[in-house]
Chains A and B, each alone.
Chain A
Amino acid sequence: MHARADAADTAPNWPDDIFATLQRFDIRQVPYVPDAGHSRLIQRVLASSTMRGIPLTTEEEGVALLAGAWAGGQRGVLLMQSSGVGNCINMLSLIPILRFPFLTLVTMRGEWGEFNPWQVPMGSTTQGVFELSGVQVLRASNAAEVPAVLEAAASQAYNALTPTAVLLSQRLIGAKVFTK
């Protein structure tokens, strides 16, 4: 059993800010691996009439999917957790080779009060993995900066073909709390 700081009755608004930005940038395909930090955004996407939420079995599927979406004229964004970034490494090679717009929003684990040591290795290397793979990294650490960070990230990803990952810090999301 566990409870989260972002339980339904205290749900923050920043996922709605993200959704608004994605709408403004005409995002149509939203592949995701289910994740508590993204749950509100995923709900908004699944309820949207213009976006298609696409659950994946592993994050790398989403990278390939977005390449196909762009070939067919649509923009997409990949939602994942820091632990899934490692699953993507080889597929990230498609981004510079095919030169398609890539934006991913990554909820962070393994930092800021993490209780589970198993999340730490991938969480602490997420930024490095992206940077070594040619993906620029922006970070949002509090709710107030989410709109500006998202705007910057979407602009450079879709307008300047600059692959970009936004790390949504565990401080923003709220560390997972397990209770007996």
Chain B
Amino acid sequence: MSKDNLLDRRQVVSTLLANRKDVVAIGGLGASTNDMCAAGDHARNFYLWGGMGGAAMIGLGLALAQPKLPVLVITGDGEMLMGMGSLATIGLQKPSNLSIAVLDNEAYGETGGQTSHTSAAADLVGVARACGIGDSRAVTTMAEVEAFAKAVHDVSAGPRFANMKIDSASLERILPSRDGTYILNRIRGDLGFQPI
């Protein structure tokens, strides 16, 4: 079931990653990881196939370890709701190089499309702002997506949060590698870290 006048998720993620340069991107468990892969596999893509709720915290750990690198978490509304406390943790740490983009289709697309809390009650932008993430945006147009994609590269002005309303269309799955050790070590290698 697809709503009118909502953003196309693949177009959103492609735009976020189009001129990524040195961005490290973390995809949440579910379709957002597939969207990242659909936009093009990359050595700095951190695909999650499990650990639901952990995407933003992986982003925080990475952002604190590499404060000059732009770190972008791209996750879904269900994943973000499960790790909502991490927004408070991020608000406290204020990593200026961390950006979080939530692809909000108001549904749990991976499990049959059950309605999520964002459809009627939970305002993730309000939550993020109330947790101390001052730059928290509600995004409904591609122009706003493009502006956010540009902002991601400013590693001195974050953390920033964007809740992007996407349509709930179910798309063909583009599956990245499922080998977590490979995914993580590929990122480490690209950042210049040798295997132990």
Contact = CB atoms under 8 A, between A and B. Distances in A.
A76 to B, nearest CB: 7
A55 B196 contact: no
Interface stretch (A1-9, A12-20, A95-103, A172-180): A95-103
A151 interface: no
A71 B46 CA distance: 9
B65 A29 contact: yes
A66 interface: yes
Given A57-B86, A73-B191, A65 B196 contact: no
Interface residues of B, number: 39
Nearest to A74: B65
Contacts of A159: 196
B88 interface: yes
A117 interface: no
Among A68, A73, A99, the most chain B Cβ lie within 10 Å of the Cβ of A68
A45 interface: no
B64 interface: yes
B40 interface: no
Contacts of A69: 61-62, 64-65
B173 interface: no
A94 interface: yes
Interface residues of A, number: 34
Shortest 5 CB-CB distances between A and B: which pairs? A68-B61, A72-B65, A64-B54, A57-B85, A64-B57
Interface in B36-67: 46, 49-55, 57-66
Contact of B54 (A29, A73, A91, A161): A91
A67 B181 contact: no
Interface of B: 24, 26, 46, 49-55, 57-66, 69, 83, 85-86, 88-89, 92-93, 180-181, 183-185, 187-188, 191-193, 196
Main secondary structure of the interface of B (DSSP, over half): helix
A116 B126 CA distance: 38
A74 B62 CA distance: 8
A61 B91 CA distance: 14
B188 A71 contact: yes
Among A52, A71, A94, the most chain B Cβ lie within 10 Å of the Cβ of A71
Interface in A54-110: 54-58, 60-74, 76, 90-91, 93-94, 97-100
Among B26, B54, B85, the most chain A Cβ lie within 10 Å of the Cβ of B54
Given A61-B85, A67-B54, A72 B180 contact: no
A55 B180 CA distance: 27
Contact of B64 (A29, A64, A94): A29
A40 interface: no
Contacts of B62: 68-69, 71-72
Contacts of A161: 196
Contacts of A38: none
